[in-house]
Structure 1
Amino acid sequence: MARSFTKLTRAKMRAMAPGSRCTEQGITFERLQNGDGVYSVNVMVDGQRIHRNIGRESDGVTRTTAEEFITKVRRDAREGRLNLPKRRKIPLTLTTAAPLYLERLKEEGGKEIDRKRQRLEQCLIPFLGELQLGQFSTFDVERYKKLRMSQPIQSRKKLSAGETLPTNRPGTVNRELATLSHLLNKAVEWGWIDRVPGKIRKLKENNGRIVYLTPQQADALLEAAKADQNRQIYPFILIGLRTGMRKSEILSIRREHIHLDTRSVYVPKAKAGDRTQPITSDLAEFLAGYLETLPNGTPWLFPSEAARGGHTIDIRKAFVCATAAAGLDTKQVVRHTLRHTAITHLVQAGVDLPTVKRISGHKTLAMVERYAHQSGAHLAAAMNKLDERYRLTGNTETDGSSVSTKQRSKNRASPPRR
């Protein structure tokens, strides 16, 4: 569409006095003191401010040249080739980016996609969904943290009169922030945004002392589970105590992934990547018999016809019943306590931490070191070994790298050489 000018006409521009200027439809003409004229443009194109000095009349630049420049940048913007600034991005809000992010993760073989989807849909999008990916600020994240920490936890528990649910824990909010951070980093990798905006600071978690079961408590829990009417709770607890596998890993075991000959279970979708999980001999013996009792044709170790995926995904109610029947505190002992128990007893048995890391499937040794909270008796036994070591070697001559008690006394008695 041709522009219509009333101010920047040829006659009026020629009549302009030196030092004066005139702007119309994004084009500015300035008459210099030496009589020459300068054209520049200042327009908004797709939310971007384009300001350019087009040139002088003495160089052959005219108003038409400025009009052609504006037409070009607007055409380039429509075609997605505007290079002002470079690598211009299409604005994406968290709401529109989330499904694209999850779909790409699925194509790449990403992990915990269902959990990420749940955190996005139930927590992040309701609060931050309208923000563009490139506009996230530290202030937005801090407001989100404050809101989530003030909200009660999601629970199916029926409350008694006057009872209220506790608020979300820092660990819960940190997992949500980790999902947001991963999405933003992937957005940079995929070229959706140029950089991660703002800074996502996680909340400080109070790790405290890890709760685990003594061998006697573990046996009591197994006996209670064996007597429970839910036939899946006993194998679930036994696998948890004998391997340290996570709840989701246990419930999603497929028959084809159990290898009794090598005493192992293949875990294809673990948090730290796929791994081969070793199992104990008594667990292998139990599984050999348990597999024969499963319905023909089911691929799952914990099948469920009612579940969408074909296998059990929630065994909390049966676990609480077994925990109470064993005389344990149902608030302290949760399903993840089985994992804590297995790993803790591996450490207390003297298994080196790299081996424990391989068995537990942790990402780093630092995560395994949290379990090195040996009991008082175990620490006392370790100190007794140190004491015994000194007693045995204290008065014995050793190699040239060590000095015996007798030699140290002789050195103290000899005068220094001059």
Structure 2
Amino acid sequence: MAVYKRGDKAVFYMNFTVDGVRVSRSTGKFTKKEAKLVEAVEKKRMMVDGALSPRERAARMLLSIAIQKTYDERWKDNKDGLKAKRLAERALELVGDIPLCKIEDQTIKRMVKKLEDSGVKGATINRYLATMKTLLRHHQQPWEHIKLKKESKGRIRVLSKEEETTVVSLLRDTDHPKKRSHYPEAADLIEVLVDTGCRLSEVLNLKYEDINWDTNLISIWINKGDKPRSIPMTKRVRGTLLARQEGDRIKPFSIDIDQAQKAWNWARKRMMLDDDKEFVMHALRHTCATRLLDRGIDLYTVKEWLGHSTMQVTERYAHLRPEKLVHAVAALDL
């Protein structure tokens, strides 16, 4: 039985097997002649596909299907897997649901142009491009035509001791109304961030069970690089975390990222630093790295402290120690 009528509307269904794969579904046709034609086309397609290599079959795969398969097979178990899937789905909206073999150089250029026209910055565009590269590589498709854009490295903003003191004092010592009642907690948070060099999310997600008071170490288990690390506590950090350990509190900090950012922006405005676009909370991480280097700590130790994925990331801070060059030139004067 190849095609047969089914249901009150007498729609013809097809039922056949090609290379062990069974097809049983509606042809969408109401006459046997038309149904047989649909069946023949589908059989031919399946036989052609059956003769293709896995790479050739993937080349015909629609982008929407490729995204879901890449998520299921590669991204799903990654920390940022869902973010990668959403970026790919946004790219799908920009280029259309086309076969992977049609994602060519001009396709990527059109996508980049649309992103730029909508105000998306270079670093974010690179995340789209990197996601598309990963997707194509996963399905063994050409990806070399996707080139990341050059990103402006900008300056590494470091807080002076005076700036740090001012931010903390504004948040801790000001008489805040109820809607800003969490600002003193943000002051504690800032001191922990600048002394540990942790990312904001790492400290906000920190639990007391991850603090070893005997060894004086904080363990960061979940982070951007999926590389657990332990950080020693300064006396200030230890004192702050101990002081915040009340009752059955699971985490030292109860505020969320939005509340922390609002507190920071409030202090920034009162310091009249609105125009300093680099005066952000992430600068506290830069500040920690720079202070470690200023006190003679080597780059490798700073890399491990901050949890950088590669030495190249840490080397951004190397130029902040020009005194090394001063000592080096002395060797040429001998």
1:136 to 103, 110, 128: 103
Q: CA, structure 1 residues 260+113, in 2 after alignment: closer, same or farther (shift >3 Å)?
A: farther
Letter in 2 for 1:98: I
1:17-416, aligned counterparts within 5 Å?
78=46, 82-85=50-53, 88-89=56-57, 91-105=60-74, 109-121=77-89, 123-152=90-119, 168-185=120-137, 187-188=138-139, 194-197=140-143, 199-227=145-173, 229-230=181-182, 231-278=184-231, 279-292=233-246, 296=248, 299-303=250-254, 312-314=256-258, 315-329=260-274, 331-374=277-320, 379=322, 381-382=323-324, 385=327
8 Å CA contact 1:141–1:200 kept in 2: the answer is yes
Cα deviation code 1:358-413 (max 9, x no counterpart): 01111111111111232xxx63x55665577789xx5xxxxxxxxxxxxxxxxxxx
- CA, structure 1 residues 143+77, in 2 after alignment: closer, same or farther (shift >3 Å)? closer
Uncovered stretches (5+) of structure 1, i.e. residues with no partner: 3-44, 46-70, 153-167, 189-193, 305-311, 395-418
Shift, 1:92, TM fit:
3.4
User: SS where residue 351 of structure 1 aligns?
Assistant: coil
Per-residue CA deviation, residues 132-174 of structure 1 (Å, 9 max, x unaligned), is: 233311111111112212213xxxxxxxxxxxxxxx3211211
Name the count of aligned residue pairs. 288
Q: 1:342 to 1:260 in 2, by over 3 A?
A: same
2:106 maps to a residue whose letter is F
- Which amino acid counterpart does residue 246 of structure 2 have in structure 1? E
Question: Is the partner of 1:265 in helix, strand or coil?
Answer: strand
Contact 2:198-2:306 at 8 Å conserved across structures: yes
Deviation at 1:253, TM superposition (A): 1.9
Give the TM-score of the pair, scaled to structure 2.
0.73
Contact 2:75 2:85 in 1 (8 A): no
Shift of 1:74: 7.7
Determine the C-alpha separation between the residues in 1 that align with 2:206 and 2:228: 13
Residue in 2 that maps onto 1:13: none
SS in 1 for 2:244: helix
Say which is worse superposed, 332-341 or 219-228, in terms of deviation: 219-228
Read off the aligned partner of 2:307 and give its amino acid letter: G
| Partner secondary structure for residue 318 of structure 1 | helix
Alpha-carbon distance change, 253 to 387 in structure 1, aligned in 2, over 3 angstroms: same
Deviates further, 355-364 or 196-205:
196-205
Q: CA deviation at 1:313?
A: 3.7
Provide the residue aligned with 2:34 in structure 1: none
1:160 is aligned to none
**Cα separation, 2, equivalents of 1:112 and 1:214:** 33
| CA positional deviation for 1:335 | 1.8
Shift of 1:247: 2.4
Alignment partner, residue 9 of structure 2: none
Higher relative CO (CA 8 A, sep ≥ 6), structure 1 or 2?
A: 2
More helix by share: 2
8 Å contact from structure 1 (residues 258, 264) kept in 2: yes
Question: Within 2, Cα distance between the matches of 1:277 and 1:358?
Answer: 9
> Identical aligned pairs, as a percentage?
26
* 2:262 partner letter: K
Report if aligned partners of 1:76, 1:82 keep a CA contact under 8 Å in 2: no
Distance apart, 1:208 and its partner CA: 2.6
Letter in 2 for 1:182: T
Q: Distance in 1 between matches of 2:85 and 2:253?
A: 24
CA distance in 2, matches of 1:116, 1:87: 23
| Structure with greater Cα Rg | 1
**TM superposition shift of 1:321:** 0.8
> Which one-letter code corresponds to 1:287 in the other structure?
L
Measured on the aligned residues, the alpha-carbon RMSD in Å equals 3.4
Separation in structure 2 between the aligned mates of residue 141 and residue 319 of structure 1, nearest angstrom: 38
Find the residue that maps to 1:317 and give its secondary structure.
Answer: helix
Q: Give the counterpart letter for 2:209 in structure 1.
A: E
| Aligned-pair CA distance for 1:215 | 1.9
